[in-house]
Structure 1
Amino acid sequence: MIDYTPLYRALEDAGATSWVEQLPGQIQAVLNQQSHGDWDRWQSVVDKLPSVIPSSNELIDSVRIGSAGDLSTELQQKLFDELQALHPWRKGPYQVFGIDIDTEWRSDWKWERLKNHITSLKNRLVLDVGCGNGYHGWRMLGAGARMVLGVDPTLLSIMQFQALHKLYGEAALYVLPLGIEDLPADLKLFDTVFSMGVLYHRRSPIDHLLELKGFLRSGGELVLETIVVDGGVDTVLLPEQRYAQMRNVWFLPSCDALIVWMQRCGFKNIKLRDVSKTTIEEQRSTAWMRFNSLQDFLHPEDDSLTCEGLPAPLRAIVTANID
């Protein structure tokens, strides 16, 4: 497991001593309660990863750990097999000692869409809610963040992050096996909070926005990315059952409705930064994610609709501040 001691120190320095007192117990409780049948296998994979110091790392234009020349052909093949054992890889891509982890999502495309629209992350304390295996957290470090904390309750994502962190070496990036509900309310701790691909999974989007607001210190920035639908200020789609085969999709607002929600929650300086259709080039099946993906979830005769006949995924990026 990752040593969280540096994280605890950083949180204490930021004034979150009371949370630091709770965190070790929270993490241990999750690990004690885990019941996933693959947990021991995943942990064994991480434990067996080679201890190699990368000749160089890259976090600015991509996420690259080491190079092919750092490993023998035999050791590179062994590493390939071990990383494949952590399938499916959803967020990325990563280049790891010459191995291209071609993930389901081209998460780098999302980063390109937002990176020029956010306040500089230089020397900022950053929270990434629903971070998956931490891809965007690495990019945030590359953008100069002082420390990035990700939270995600998905155990496989945690193990993938642990594998990458072990191969990369020391980094001020941490991913906790927690959900947003496990964080203390009104922390008022972070300079920037990211919530990307989370809002539509929450049964109460207003409560989610208020939680995010409570994590920010005065003057902090929220970067929100979510699925939206076309329409006016009163347009909100609530799927009857599934949306693109996902069971846990709740409210899909129009951009105008989303902005009103954020205004009602007390956010200021709200700006719609980007609206992009999710394409089958950005989310697709690969050798590193061999299950069905977006193409299988769209209407076979009309890719503007999901297989249920609802509007196909359209994603918006919004930034906002608090007083």
Structure 2
Amino acid sequence: MKLFTQDLIAVAQSPLQHWLTTLPAQLERWQKEQQHGELPKWLRSVEQLPKLEAQQVSLDDTVTVHNNTVNEGEQNRIRGLMMQLVPWRKGPFNLHGVHIDTEWRSDFKWQRVLPHLSNTKGDSQPLKGQQVLDIGCGSGYHLWRMLEAGAEQVWGVDPGQLFMAQFMAVRSFMPPELQARSHLFPLGVEDLPELKAFDTVFSMGVLYHRRSPIDFLTQLRAQLKPGGQLVLETLVVEGDEHTVLVPGETYAKMRNVWFIPSSKALLHWLARCGFKTARVVDESLTTLEEQRATEWMQGQSLADFLDPADHSRTIEGYPAPRRAVIIAQA
């Protein structure tokens, strides 16, 4: 359990103490299952990163950690080790002068979400003092933005091995105070008990990957305190409350896309799952500026997923990716 020792101590010292009835055994079982996969190699890259003091930290659009004494050799070492963890999909990051230009400009999404997290216009810390959960958090970029927005503790869950290694790499450069407030567990939402402990739960870019979206929404609600806030960001299509796209084998070359509802249909689903005051706060098309191939993610990206003659359609002929942000209360 050494890998998660500090995180489990944080659980024990938080309002999530009851999670300890299931979490340690899950993590121990997970670690045993990873002994012969890629994870040990990735963790060795993380362990070889230089230990550097964080003299300046900025958790804004580019999550940045800087030390004025870092030399070119140390930068090259950081760059080489971080390249062992490609592809980097969510970011961007700047770690001691090494700019990780990720596939997604995740700051674009955060800028669409942030203004709607508080009823107080212009509140710079709308998550102040909160216990926050991010389901499907990827490499954890948005966890750092949630800390910037005032969260007391941020908890990410994502079963991806590489995502966890990337998160640990970034966290290793953070000052101890921020390391102690940021956590990622390699779990899926189906692995969580009904914690009913979080002030805000984020789920961004996950719903359409779930075979049973209603079950998924019910699982999200089970993590929230009564009156807690859900921030749901997902693919949608235009249409009325009865409109749901069920793609064929692929959607935008993704094989694991099952249901893409209209925003109105999604509001109806949320109401059926017991959420209150659900509202759409943003709806917009994904642009080639927001998702694209880079040095840090050299595979195909959005430009390859769209019809080259008509960017309003995917390569399969479906409507191009449109994303909505919905906020609701448990």
The alignment's TM-score, normalised by the length of structure 2, stands at 0.93
The equivalent of 1:288 in structure 2 is 296
Alignment of 1:122-161 (within 5 A): 122-161=128-167
Residue 175, structure 1, aligned to residue 184, structure 2? yes
CA contact (8 A) 1:54 1:70 kept: no
Residue 29, structure 1, aligned to residue 29, structure 2? yes
Distance 2:159 2:245 in 1: 26
Distance 1:57 1:302 in 2: 42
The Cα of 1:44 is off from its aligned counterpart by 1.2
The ranges of structure 1 where at least 4 consecutive aligned residues each deviate by more than 6 angstroms after the TM superposition are: none
1:100-126: CA deviation from partner (whole Å, max 9, x where unpaired): 100000000000111010131000000
Distance 1:164 1:36 in 2: 24
The equivalent of 2:240 in structure 1 is 232
Distance 1:47 1:9 in 2: 21
Q: Give the match's secondary structure for 1:148.
A: strand
The equivalent of 1:55 in structure 2 is 55
Q: Give the match's secondary structure for 1:54.
A: coil
1:207-234: CA deviation from partner (whole Å, max 9, x where unpaired): 1111111100011000000000011111
Gaps of 5+ in 1: none
Distance 2:207 2:36 in 1: 26
2:183 alignment partner AA: Y
The Cα of 1:156 is off from its aligned counterpart by 0.4
The Cα of 1:13 is off from its aligned counterpart by 4.5
2:155 alignment partner AA: L
Matching residue within 258, 261, 264 for 2:269: 261
C-alpha spacing 1:36/1:241, structure 2 compared with 1 (3 Å): farther
2:104 alignment partner AA: W
Matching residue within 299, 308, 317 for 2:325: 317
Distance 1:199 1:35 in 2: 30
The Cα of 1:24 is off from its aligned counterpart by 2.0
1:284-310: CA deviation from partner (whole Å, max 9, x where unpaired): 000000111011111111111111111
Residue 192, structure 1, aligned to residue 191, structure 2? no
Distance 1:179 1:225 in 2: 17
The Cα of 1:60 is off from its aligned counterpart by 3.8
The Cα of 1:85 is off from its aligned counterpart by 1.1
Work out the number of aligned pairs and report it: 320
CA contact (8 A) 1:60 1:143 kept: no
Distance 1:148 1:279 in 2: 29
The Cα of 1:9 is off from its aligned counterpart by 4.2
The Cα of 1:149 is off from its aligned counterpart by 0.2
C-alpha spacing 1:255/1:2, structure 2 compared with 1 (3 Å): farther
Distance 1:216 1:77 in 2: 43
Q: Give the match's secondary structure for 2:102.
A: coil
C-alpha spacing 1:36/1:304, structure 2 compared with 1 (3 Å): farther
Distance 1:6 1:77 in 2: 29
CA contact (8 A) 1:70 1:97 kept: no
C-alpha spacing 1:155/1:212, structure 2 compared with 1 (3 Å): same
Identical amino acids, percent of aligned pairs: 48
CA contact (8 A) 2:91 2:100 kept: yes
Alignment of 1:203-222 (within 5 A): 203-222=211-230
The equivalent of 1:223 in structure 2 is 231
Residue 242, structure 1, aligned to residue 242, structure 2? no
Q: Give the match's secondary structure for 2:132.
A: strand
The Cα of 1:14 is off from its aligned counterpart by 4.4
Distance 1:2 1:79 in 2: 24
1:59-103: CA deviation from partner (whole Å, max 9, x where unpaired): 145310114x33111111111111111110000000110111000
Distance 1:267 1:232 in 2: 19
The Cα of 1:36 is off from its aligned counterpart by 6.4
Q: Give the match's secondary structure for 1:76.
A: helix
Q: CA RMSD in A?
A: 1.6
The alignment's TM-score, normalised by the length of structure 1, stands at 0.95
